[in-house]
Structure 1
Amino acid sequence: MPKFLIVNSDDFGISPGVNRGILEAHHNGIVTSTTTMVNMPAAAEGIEKAHQSAPKLGLGLHFNLSFGAPVSAPEEVPSLVTEDGTFVSDYPQLMEKMAHFDPAEVERELNAQFLRFIRLAGTPPDHIDSHHGITYFHPAGLNTMLELAKEYHLPIRRLARPEPIDGSEQPASAEHTLTNELTAIIEKYGQPRQPDRLLDLIFDFETGDRLEPLKAGLKNLPEGYSELLVHVGYAEGLTEAYTTQREEELTAITDPSLKAIIESEGIELITFAELPL
């Protein structure tokens, strides 16, 4: 079987600098797809520029319950936000707060984000996934995501932890914990349209070279359909922890050697829309 690869850069819309970096990585590198945080101020401008300059870039929706403010009015989703009307970003605090999310409010906010994407883009997203993976391990989030995927015939990011392709073990923090309730939801809808595997080769809060791990991963890419998760962009204007690391990822993902490897390995770059039905 041939090797198909989606290279998806998360967080489109989080800032103008990240938007610029993702578009640059599409034009000059190997990024084929991105997912949009429609609750962020730079989302509308990002989608407009993508339509104008990058019509072949896949545009997905990055469901977000952990950064910025909700699309819904804060008083409509009080269990999801702090007193100042914003989501909780600190991970330990987020896990504590998530235990008290009102399921109806989760459903309301995710549907509001989905409809906002349609208003901004003019079409539904070509796939859906989630910032920090929140919708994958909250029952109401997972149910809403799978319901929308079914209704709109959309692919989603794979329902699994990122897979190593060099024989090493992924850290435990990378794994989505599937409780009995989450498993039952997946069984209700059946396996959605998704890649065979999710690869996370270069995300790292530590600074350092990211090109060699990326090259090694491409050379060891299995047959079938894979998604490579990246976070490229420029650091200016960012208020979250992953800033200059995005610039390091951008440098790696636009290195000319990658396209030569992709050609020599017979890898076909695709978007989520090209996954088989």
Structure 2
Amino acid sequence: MPKLIVNGDDFGFSEGTNAGIMKAHHEGILTSTSVMINLDYAASGLEQLQQDAPSIGIGLHINLTHGKPVAPASHVSSLIDEAGFFHPIENILQVSGGYDSDELYEEIAAQIERFIALTGKKPTHLDSHYHIAFLHPLALEATLALAAEHGRLPLRESAFQNSTDKLIKDMQHFFPGIPDTYIQELIPTLQEVAANGPDYAMPARFETGFSGENITLGDLLVILADLPEERPTELLCHPGTGNDLLNPKATARQRELDALTHPTARELIDRYDISLISYADLANAK
């Protein structure tokens, strides 16, 4: 029996994102979400989510590239610009060499603590906006340490674990124009950080095929029809509403929502006897 986590990233980004994730859970196949805990719509959204969707898994979407930090700005000056905002993803390669490891640890720790304060429990798992916590060596080091300190929290699978080609593809997507040589040098550094860090768990295979331009119902059904049975799969998605003025990708987010809530998606879940789960079900897995 294939096991599938359907995780909606970016909860807390906007009311439209929150609404899309809620609808995808109530009317579709979404089982899990991860919250950008530093953003304005996180607190109110989490309160509603826990009240209206108690069975959904809620993880932390570690955010180092959008909005302002949770930790005091004076404590994390290497992570922010003069206005107090995180450096945007397109500028990361220019500034991340100056990131301070202690400041990264403090900010990620502060995000976990805010999550616990708002929800009353630990996140079901840790993942990261633009995967930055798994693509930057110092951020990865801090993330692994904090996952261990909080009881070996499950982590989203990172491409450096098993696929150089996948990591190159991811990096080129997030950082257009990045040289292949830079990525090739980064891979062993990330692997060394992981090898020398505390024991960690990435229990689910990470499926990114339902993203970017590939967000039709057909794209989703192809994935559902070919899930492996030997290991759980996490399907990345970003449902939202088409009228979300705060999200420049609102139209695409609505298309994802439409696919996730389409009756045929549920029919394939039943036909292939797919078990819909969240990271909470894998908390003790490798």
Question: What is the TM-score with the length of structure 2 in the denominator?
Answer: 0.87
Deviation beyond 6 Å, 4+ runs, structure 1: 161-164
Aligned residue number for residue 259 of structure 2: 252
Q: Is contact 1:163-1:197 (8 Å) kept?
A: no
Task: Look up the equivalent residue of 2:219 and give its one-letter code.
Answer: P
Structure with the larger helix share? 2
Paired positions, count = 269
Aligned CA RMSD, in angstroms, stands at 2.3
Displacement after TM superposition at 1:90 (Å): 4.4
State the SS of the aligned residue for 2:159.
coil
Aligned residue number for residue 279 of structure 2: 272
1:86-97 equivalences under 5 Å are: 86-91=85-90, 93-97=91-95
Which sections of structure 2, spanning at least 5 residues, go unmatched? 173-182
1:232-265 CA-to-partner distances (Å, cap 9, x unmatched) read 1125455454322111100111101111101111
1:228-243 equivalences under 5 Å are: 228-239=235-246, 241-243=248-250
1:29-108 equivalences under 5 Å are: 29-91=28-90, 93-108=91-106
Aligned residue number for residue 170 of structure 2: 174
Q: Does the C-alpha gap of structure 1 residues 272 and 260 become closer, same or farther in structure 2, counting only changes over 3 Å? A: same
Aligned residue number for residue 220 of structure 1: 226
Task: Look up the equivalent residue of 2:274 and give its one-letter code.
Answer: I
Displacement after TM superposition at 1:39 (Å): 0.4
Q: Does the C-alpha gap of structure 1 residues 161 and 221 become closer, same or farther in structure 2, counting only changes over 3 Å? A: farther
Aligned residue number for residue 8 of structure 2: 9
Task: Look up the equivalent residue of 1:145 and give its one-letter code.
Answer: T
Q: Does the C-alpha gap of structure 1 residues 190 and 106 become closer, same or farther in structure 2, counting only changes over 3 Å? A: closer
In the alignment, which of 198, 204, 208 is matched to residue 200 of structure 1? 208
Q: Aligned residues: percent identity? A: 38
State the SS of the aligned residue for 2:84.
coil
State the SS of the aligned residue for 1:179.
helix
Q: Is contact 2:160-2:190 (8 Å) kept?
A: no
Query: Hey, what's the Cα distance between the residues in 1 that align with 2:194 and 2:50?
Result: 34
Question: What is the TM-score with the length of structure 1 in the denominator?
Answer: 0.90
Task: Look up the equivalent residue of 2:269 and give its one-letter code.
Answer: I
Displacement after TM superposition at 1:268 (Å): 0.3
Displacement after TM superposition at 1:170 (Å): 5.6
Q: Is contact 2:28-2:261 (8 Å) kept?
A: yes
State the SS of the aligned residue for 2:68.
coil
Displacement after TM superposition at 1:151 (Å): 2.0
State the SS of the aligned residue for 1:158.
coil
Which sections of structure 1, spanning at least 5 residues, go unmatched? none
Query: Hey, what's the Cα distance between the residues in 2 that align with 1:257 and 1:189?
Result: 43
Task: Look up the equivalent residue of 1:251 and give its one-letter code.
Answer: D
Query: Hey, what's the Cα distance between the residues in 1 that align with 2:194 and 2:161?
Result: 18
